[in-house]
Structure 1
Amino acid sequence: MNKMPRVCIAGMGGMGGTFASILSSRPVMLSVVARGSTLQALRENGLVCQNGSEITRHSLRVNDRAPSEIQDLIILSGKSYQLPDLFKTVSHAVGPNTLIIPVLNGLPWWMIAQTNTARSVVKKITHTLDPEGNLGSIPTENIIGCVAYAFAQVTAPGKVNISGSPRFILGNALSGQNTVDRVLTWLEGGEGHFAETSDIKKEIWNKLSLNVATNFLSVLCEGTLKILSSNPDLCVLVRRCLVEIQVLGQDCGIGGLLPIDELMSKVEQGGNHPTSMLQDYLRNKPLELAAMGDVIIRLAHHHGLVLPTTEALVGLTRNKASRRY
């Protein structure tokens, strides 16, 4: 009899909570890592998720670090600047065959080395995202890339509001590996939440373009995706930013990227949802300026490209965020 796979989710924000709500009904040994008021709320009340009029409550095995047993799968879910510390809470449960799924906005650390970029530059840019090299200790062949198309918002510690049907695209970070099929047998339950791609870098870059083109502008305007896609002046800025990031992607050797019109259509489909950066801004939390802004700009400069719209939006957003304190 096959043993149930051990799965740990580190980080119980909107995406982590969404993963936990989905996996709580799967035949896996699920545990989650949380901190502070979220840890306390999950221990006392469980995870409470609302999707439309449906409210579900999930009792979870929760602690401030992963179980001592080696895990089969670890899902790192958090802001890009949180991931190095999150990994410290699970590193003792990582074995040679443990698979890691990082769920984050921006350019993931492991992908920078796969962008036709000089090794010395890769090292400097990666240091911005992983200063102590914690994430760099994960073998690339053990990483499964993830793109999340899901709208989830933490409304209170241990409470997550999920809109619609979340969708996650998974693919091996290293070409030639074939571990996604195995993971899908653990994660997928017939609802269509998870899908496999043979080119995760393309999928990540398409989502990166959307993130860069909408997050900074949403903070500056304090507007939802519907506002960004319906205001003609803002649409121009979104489109210009998308063009800049897609051109950079092509120069980095990433092919098959979506046309700009298709990306604009995805922005329109976002409706009245606030971007993750706008949510952080309104809650007076740090913004992911490095992973979605600084790293992209430095990468572009190395490739001899200038991103005038993107650079302006990043600079203005940094200035606005600094005046909150």
Structure 2
Amino acid sequence: MKVCIFGAGAIGGYVAAKLAQTDTEVSVVARGPHLAAMQEKGLTLLEEGQDPVSVPIRASDNAADLGPQDYVFITLKAHSVPAVVDSMQPLIADETTLVSGVNGVPWWYFHKLGGPYEGTRLASVDPGNMQWDGFGPDRVLGCVVYPAAEVTAPGSIKHIEGNRFSLGEPDGSKSDRAAKLSAALSAAGLRAPVRPRIRDEIWLKLWGNLSFNPISALTHSTLDVLCADEGTRSVARGMMLEAQEVAEILGVKFPIDVEKRLDGGAAVGAHKTSMWQDLELRRPMEIDALVTSVQELGQLTGISTPTIDTVASLIKLRARVAGLY
């Protein structure tokens, strides 16, 4: 099995390092000092309680060097993907599966969903239909990413917590391609359940990202603080309830209620969200996939989202002022 990780940062590097310790043929597309380090000395993974493991890895900044793959993991920020659709084409053959490990509402959301919105395309996450037309939704296997990791130095990944990558076909079927990838990830020591309702898991994760990320970036508050403060907890609750109404119109079932989701955020502790980190590090902020997409779905379904709209306006202006949106 040939697997390429496109965007081998923290999460992509973690997957690559784990798979490279099995008989899977792994390659990565990366850039800059991180790429140079992997080409020179391989990829190093540090997991708690274990000695660092270094594995040789085939790495390039040019997909044409790596050739067609069985699976391509896309582990970039959502806003970065449309711009690389063309450069990814050398990795894609007739039977290649694209594993969409990207946060937020995915561009393929309405593919094989059925119902009145079947085939709807989302401008907020796929401007100009770049991914829909350039990849094709039939190639996609959904993936909800749960681990946390960080790049501690070029070529070095530190795993922080979690090892689950939930997989799911857009139509909910138990496909051979999902089963084979699940087996390969499991052989690498990762949890990779195949879910019949992958969109439910997408929304459960999005529930927190939609609210916690922009609120934390605006207030510079960690999860424990913003979930304990009466005011910011109320804002997050309002955003979540609006999102829940939108999602349930689309057939999503939430396994827990809003208060449990908020308590779960608080239990994470003094964690800086990725959006706050991006603001501090002056990296483009992942606003559209996490927030604007839910606004677009609200407009599509006729559900009012006033709290989401307010927070979206604030975080977009904050990002524009910083030159990051």
What is the Cα deviation at residue 175 of structure 1? 3.2
User: Counterpart of 1:27 in 2: which secondary structure?
Assistant: coil
How far apart in 2 are the matches of 1:198 and 1:226?
Answer: 32
- CA RMSD after TM alignment: 2.4
Matches within 5 A, 1:167-182: 167-176=164-173, 178=175, 179-182=177-180
Query: What residue number does 1:265 align with?
Result: 263
- Of 251-260 and 92-101, the range deviating more from structure 2: 251-260
How far apart in 1 are the matches of 2:246 and 2:136?
Answer: 26
Query: What residue number does 2:19 align with?
Result: 23
Structure 1 residue corresponding to 2:36, chosen from 40, 46, 49: 40
Matches within 5 A, 1:200-239: 200-239=198-237
Matches within 5 A, 1:27-176: 27-52=23-48, 54=50, 55-66=52-63, 67-113=65-111, 114=113, 118=117, 122-123=120-121, 125-126=122-123, 128-131=125-128, 133-176=130-173
Q: Which residue identity lines up with residue 272 of structure 1 in the other structure?
A: A
Q: Which residue identity lines up with residue 83 of structure 1 in the other structure?
A: V
Q: Which residue identity lines up with residue 236 of structure 1 in the other structure?
A: S
Q: Which residue identity lines up with residue 178 of structure 2 in the other structure?
A: V
Q: Which residue identity lines up with residue 192 of structure 2 in the other structure?
A: F
What is the Cα deviation at residue 117 of structure 1? 5.8
Q: Which residue identity lines up with residue 216 of structure 1 in the other structure?
A: P
What is the Cα deviation at residue 177 of structure 1? 5.2
Query: What residue number does 1:11 align with?
Result: 7
Q: Report the count of equivalent residues.
A: 319
Give TM-score, length-normalised by structure 2: 0.89
Confirm or deny that 1:300 pairs with 2:298. yes
What is the Cα deviation at residue 82 of structure 1? 1.2
Query: What residue number does 2:275 align with?
Result: 277
How far apart in 2 are the matches of 1:165 and 1:140?
Answer: 28
What is the Cα deviation at residue 75 of structure 1? 0.4
Superposed CA deviations along residues 238-272 of structure 1, whole A, max 9, x for unmatched, are: 22221111111001222345322332233133223
- The runs of 5 or more residues in structure 2 that have no matched partner are none
What is the Cα deviation at residue 91 of structure 1? 1.6
How far apart in 1 are the matches of 2:138 and 2:206?
Answer: 22
How far apart in 1 are the matches of 2:2 and 2:272?
Answer: 34
Q: Residues 198 and 118 (structure 1 numbering): CA distance in 2 closer, same or farther, change over 3 Å?
A: closer
Superposed CA deviations along residues 148-203 of structure 1, whole A, max 9, x for unmatched, are: 11222233433333212322111112333513111112211273532221110111
Query: What residue number does 1:188 align with?
Result: 186
What is the Cα deviation at residue 145 of structure 1? 0.5
- Of 166-175 and 257-266, the range deviating more from structure 2: 257-266
How far apart in 1 are the matches of 2:53 and 2:283?
Answer: 27
Q: Is the 8 A contact 2:144 2:202 kept in 1?
A: yes
User: Counterpart of 1:70 in 2: which secondary structure?
Assistant: coil
Q: Residues 132 and 307 (structure 1 numbering): CA distance in 2 closer, same or farther, change over 3 Å?
A: closer
What is the Cα deviation at residue 98 of structure 1? 1.2
Q: Is the 8 A contact 1:6 1:28 kept in 2?
A: yes
- The runs of 5 or more residues in structure 1 that have no matched partner are none
User: Counterpart of 1:287 in 2: which secondary structure?
Assistant: coil
Confirm or deny that 1:246 pairs with 2:244. yes
Q: Residues 215 and 90 (structure 1 numbering): CA distance in 2 closer, same or farther, change over 3 Å?
A: same
What is the Cα deviation at residue 35 of structure 1? 1.6
Q: Is the 8 A contact 2:47 2:159 kept in 1?
A: yes
Give TM-score, length-normalised by structure 1: 0.89
How far apart in 2 are the matches of 1:174 and 1:139?
Answer: 15
